[in-house]
Amino acid sequence: MQLKLNKLDIVATVLIAILALVSIYFVRGLNNSGGDRIAQVYYRNELVHTFDLSDHAQSFFDIEATQGLVRIESKDGYVRVVDETSRRNICSIQGWSNSVVAPIVCLPNELFIKIIATDTDSDLDGVIR
């Protein structure tokens, strides 16, 4: 059985591909906005530690979380969970991050690491009209 595409199928495929490429461009632009960043470590929705990611020195932070000790490392503008106590090691599998759009989340230990760009021009998150 041979698959036949009509003109509408081809146009729809091209439009979807263009939309996907434009979306990737904007998400990367948001993520790579440059400037200084900080990583905030939250345990049970309370801020427990802050890493300055513009400082490229290696530093560690240990926290006793829900399922045991979690070790967090900051180095060269990135942050990661080095070691944690959980069944599937979800946190450490996520690897290094400096992305403002993709936090490191460790639900078994009720911990997350949020990255924030510190050089924004204003405190506005959005505009409603």
What's the CATH number where 41 sits?
2.60.320.10
Residue 129 belongs to a domain:
no
Q: pLDDT for 87-127, tens place per residue?
A: 888 889 999 998 888 899 998 899 999 999 876 554 555 54
> How many residues make up the chain in this entry?
129
Instruction: Tell me whether residue 124 is in a domain.
Output: no
pTM of the model: 0.68
Domain that holds residue 48: 37-117
The answer to whether residue 12 sits within a structural domain is no
**How many domains in the chain?**
1
Q: Tens of pLDDT along 7-40?
A: 999 999 999 999 999 988 877 666 555 568 899 9
Of 115, 119, 67, 66, give the one whose Cα is nearest residue 94.
115
d(CA 67, CA 108): 7
